[in-house]
Amino acid sequence: MENKFTNKEVAALLRNVSAAYQVKGLNYFQIRAYDTASDAIENTASDIKTLWEQGKLDQIPGIGTHIANYLDEYLTTGKVRHFESVFRQVPEDMFRFLKIPGVGPKTAVKIANSGVVSIKDLEERIKSGWLLKHDFGQKTLDNILRGIEEFNRKSDRYLLPIAGEIAKDVVNYLKQNKDVVYADPLGSLRRRLSTVGDIDIAAATRNPKGVLNHFVKYPGIHEVIEKGDTTATILHGSGIHADLMVQPPNHYGSLLQHFTGSKSHNIHLRSLAKEKGYSISEYGVKEIKSGKSLEFEKEEGIYKLLGMETPIPEIREDTGEIEAALENKIPRLIDLKDIKGDLHTHSSWSDGQNTISEMAEAAAQLGREYIALTDHSYPSLKFEQRIKDIEQFNYSQDKIRVIYGLEVNINVDATLQIADEILERHELILVSIHTSFRQEKDLMTKRIIKALENPNVDIFAHPTGRLLLEREGIEADWEQIFKVAARTGTLIEIDAYPNRLDLPDTLVREAKRFGVRFTICTDAHHTDQLNLMEYGISVARRGWLEPKDVVNTLPFEKLRDILKFD
């Protein structure tokens, strides 16, 4: 099959190189370089082949000169001699087992060397007890089975920030056509779910043929899959399909409302409309008694007809938004413009790619009043020197206040990675789970609660530890955890990093019920990632958060009072 050089394909290639390097026992920094480059390619909305053709591979954060040269060879010839040499030194079958969540390179090699030839074969041999006789422990096999279940559940979905950035670009491209009156994303993308399937877009026009012809000439295209009279589908360079549906402006409101969904929201709305004497479908609104059709250019007209506010798309899940809209009681939910600062970022002092000043200046350009640099608390980190460097930067300028903080691992035994006397020297402490994700629920709950009760701890970061499309979140008693967080005043983070979007929106809403307050942070490891805040906002809006629920909507002086530092 011809290689289309999609972002997913290239990212998978680099991830396989990293895995092979790990099996061969090469040094950490070589391995990390390939992991970083793979993540960067997978998490960019730009088509890597297009960037390569334009000589702009260096625009992707995390791709150094060495890897860029290999990518140039790959995109030119379809192969890399060095990579092929590396792959010949490890079992070929190991790479298929790496697709299973929780299976690392060394386990994948062991599986391949045991004679297992496929994921289906692996599942059968675990269930039959065959692998127990081949030096695999029961706990390891249970974890592999759980990973296979996750793998089987995974469909060809994409992270919201990836699909969202591509959709933005496509919509902006459509709007360049003078015949496009409106253009909007649809479905789960418009409702801002954490992962989406295909990108669905609607456009209002009186010239459908011209707009569809414009659409299929989109510069990021790999292939035109289909083009009809009112719809078209293209394959984007990232590997995701984008579908366009066009309608005349006078019917656009009905189209937009129906295809935004969700299904349960629409069913409830149709039931309400029927009680009021109307029928609603994707084709429009009719008076049941007279059969008269009503036209709506904007979806707000449909909701107004039914005597209700228009719920924002993010909350259209039939979880109380219709009842609230009927009573005019939908709160003013948080918006990107409410954010004053970012409380979780990383610099080159740990695993970030930019210096203190570069991160701070980029945040200032986004209009932030403050930024917390919360590098990982590696025991080798020169804590005092880092604090001095941040203080020196603060003294040197008055555009933005840099808060010196740390992200500290909660160890499996519920201790923190570093001693309290080091924590006390910092203005902000985040704690998070980075190891032993499969710990039993009771032990995990106690592990987290003990950390939250430490008086030096301010924020519980990316609480479930999930990696979307890769790893399920931890099991814990969230009700207990939220009660403790509310009692201790520990803030709960909504992490906007593309493959996290963590805390999930369902738990956000539950935490709010217990009186928990939140932060929304980017977890940025590069200046470009400071722009990801809007995706954390999407999670917060789906969780019905208002600005008052989120502390980094506060100006610095008020935030300082809450965090209790000078």
33-47 as b/e: b if 16+ CB within 10 A: bbbbbbbbbbbbbbb
Q: Are 178 and 487 in contact (CB under 8 A)?
A: no
In DSSP terms, 371 is beta-bridged to 342, 402
Within a 10 A sphere around the Cβ of 156, how many other Cβ atoms?
11
For 241, the 3-state DSSP assignment is strand
Within a 10 A sphere around the Cβ of 440, how many other Cβ atoms?
11
Which fold would CATH assign to domain 252-326? Beta Polymerase; domain 3 (3.30.210)
Residue 248's H or E segment, with its range, is: none
Closest C-alpha to 523, from 351, 379, 339, 333: 351
Closest C-alpha to 518, from 537, 492, 543: 492
Q: How far apart, in Å, are the Cα atoms of 528 and each of 79, 125, 250? A: 30, 45, 40
**C-alpha torsion angle, residues 122, 124, 126, 132 (rounded to 10):** -100
Q: What is the pLDDT of residues 508-553, one digit of tens each?
A: 999 999 999 999 999 999 999 999 999 999 999 999 999 999 999 9
What local confidence, expressed as pLDDT, does residue 1 receive?
40
Tell me the two tokens of residue 12. Answer: 């998978």
Q: What is the pLDDT of residues 412-454, one digit of tens each?
A: 999 999 999 999 999 999 999 998 888 999 999 999 999 999 9
Q: Are 23 and 94 in contact (CB under 8 A)?
A: yes
Pairing, β 195-196 against β 401-409: unpaired
Could you tell me which residues come within 8 angstroms of residue 171 by beta carbon, excluding any fewer than 6 positions away? 183, 184, 185, 201
What local confidence, expressed as pLDDT, does residue 50 receive?
76
**Whole-angstrom Cα distance, residue 443 to residue 489?**
22
What local confidence, expressed as pLDDT, does residue 153 receive?
62
CATH classification (class only), 158-247: alpha beta
Tell me the two tokens of residue 142. Answer: 């249970």
Tell me the two tokens of residue 184. Answer: 């909007």
Residue type, 171: V
**Whole-angstrom Cα distance, residue 204 to residue 366?**
32
Sequence length of the chain is: 566
What local confidence, expressed as pLDDT, does residue 212 receive?
96
Which CATH number does 7-153 carry?
Answer: 1.10.150.110
If you write DSSP's letter for every residue of 327-359 in order, what string do you get? TT-------GGG--EEEEE--TTTT-SS-HHHH
Side-chain-side CA neighbours of residue 479 (13 Å): 0
Residue whose tokens read 């629409």: 266
Tell me the two tokens of residue 552. Answer: 């980094």
Rg of the Cα atoms in the chain: 25
Q: Are 347 and 373 in contact (CB under 8 A)?
A: yes
Which fold would CATH assign to domain 336-563? TIM Barrel (3.20.20)
Q: What is the pLDDT of residues 462-487, one digit of tens each?
A: 999 998 888 888 999 999 999 999 99
Digit-by-digit pLDDT tens for the chain (566 residues) are 455 677 778 888 888 988 888 888 887 778 888 888 887 787 666 678 777 887 877 777 778 788 888 888 888 888 889 988 888 888 888 888 888 877 888 888 888 888 888 888 888 888 888 888 777 888 888 888 888 877 776 657 888 988 998 999 999 999 999 999 999 999 999 999 999 988 999 999 999 999 999 999 998 788 889 999 999 999 887 788 899 999 999 999 999 999 998 988 999 999 999 999 999 987 789 999 998 999 899 999 999 999 999 999 999 999 999 999 999 999 999 999 999 999 999 999 998 889 999 999 999 999 999 999 999 998 889 999 999 999 999 999 999 999 999 999 999 999 999 999 999 999 999 999 998 888 999 999 999 999 999 999 999 999 999 988 888 889 999 999 999 999 999 999 999 998 899 999 999 999 999 999 999 999 999 999 999 999 999 999 999 999 999 999 999 999 999 888 76
Q: Looking at residue 250, what DSSP letter applies?
A: G
**Whole-angstrom Cα distance, residue 483 to residue 497?**
26
According to CATH, where is 1.10.150.110 located in the chain?
7-153
